[in-house]
Amino acid sequence: MFNNKSILITGGTGSFGNEFVKKIIKKYKKIKKLIIFSRDELKQHEMSKIFSEDKYKFIRYFLGDIRDRERLFSALNGVDYVVHAAALKQVPRAEYNPFEYIKTNILGAQNLVEGCIEKKIKKVVALSTDKAAAPINLYGATKLCSDKLFIAANNIKGFGGSNFSVVRYGNVLGSRGSLVDVLKKNKNKNFFQITDNEMTRFNITLEESVKHVLWSFQNSPGGDILVPKLKSYKVLDLINAYNPNFKLKEIGIRPGEKIHEEMITESDSFNTLELKNYFVILPNTFSENKILTTKKYYKKNFKAKSVKKGFKYNSGNNPDFLTKKELKLFFN
């Protein structure tokens, strides 16, 4: 679907952006233009060493910030598809810098929505996080608001306008700042602090995250939140898989943390469908017709079924957990 088309990815120099670009240039040989939009010139320079504009003539590195409406609108000229990966993400930092997170994660999302509608972008897929489900920290709250903006964009775009969808998933093990990254940086120490021995998290690889975004581009009718079925892991098991000899100190959960991360809350169950490899949270809209149309689409094309009332999907009640043997593979 991307051959002879132009794609823009916000936050394109991050872990996801690098993996997305690698996948796209391998799978699609006739891309018209691939725009890497980010505010970090050093990351753009480093990324250009891997994906050079000399070798890949269709790649453009566009320095800019989604907070800058004028610059963002300029980058969207002639674009067909947008992946929104730009965000401020560190939970503790958000509590001390709330206005900055609001400017990027909410107002930046608004800029992108309005820009995509004005520039008549065909389809937009925004990345979300498990922390956006029943958020207890400011980062999660900003991402929930961002999700709502992209879903609501389908109500304000006008007939036949842009298509907006959201993909929500969990922690990307191995990405910058992940627990795997932190453990490797502490390899020479004989002790490690753990917040809670019962803590669990969802797991997803960078390659899988790109696969789910591409699935949404190809299949989502718009207005829905796609939640992939993922494996969970116990944080304690991950630490022991890396170094079973660590002396562990339990320090208690940090502000804004949960013991188990959620992807679908009990309140979402009334409007959630289950597919073979995904859950789909239907559009949150006053239009009953839009909800019924989306539900009919997924039931017809993917044999989707409604989940039971009261259903919830979190990393603790997930029936599928990574084994210690599987966890060791992340450190190879």
> Helices in the chain by DSSP H: which ranges?
15-27, 41-50, 69-75, 91-96, 98-101, 108-118, 138-156, 179-185, 206-219, 235-242, 288-302, 324-328
What residue has token string 């997803």? 204
**Residue 209 neighbours by CB under 8 Å, 6+ apart:** 16, 19, 127, 167, 169, 172
Active-site hit among 131, 157, 258, 290: 131
What residue has token string 């903006």? 149
Q: Do β-strands 59-63 and 278-281 pair in parallel, antiparallel, or remain unpaired?
A: unpaired
Element (H, E) at 265: none
Please give the Cα distance from 129 to 158 (Å, whole number): 28
Q: How many CA atoms lie within 13 A of 234 on its CB side?
A: 12
The 3 state secondary structure assigned to 19-59 is HHHHHHHHHCCCECEEEEEECCHHHHHHHHHHCCCCCCCCE
R_g (Cα) of the chain, nearest Å: 20
Q: In what order do the strands lie in the sheet with 200-204?
A: 171-172, 200-204, 231-234
Considering only CA atoms, which of 144, 38, 17, 139 is closest in space to residue 88?
Answer: 139
The answer to whether residue 131 is catalytic is yes
Please give the Cα distance from 261 to 240 (Å, whole number): 21
Please give the Cα distance from 327 to 180 (Å, whole number): 10
Catalytic (active-site) positions: 131
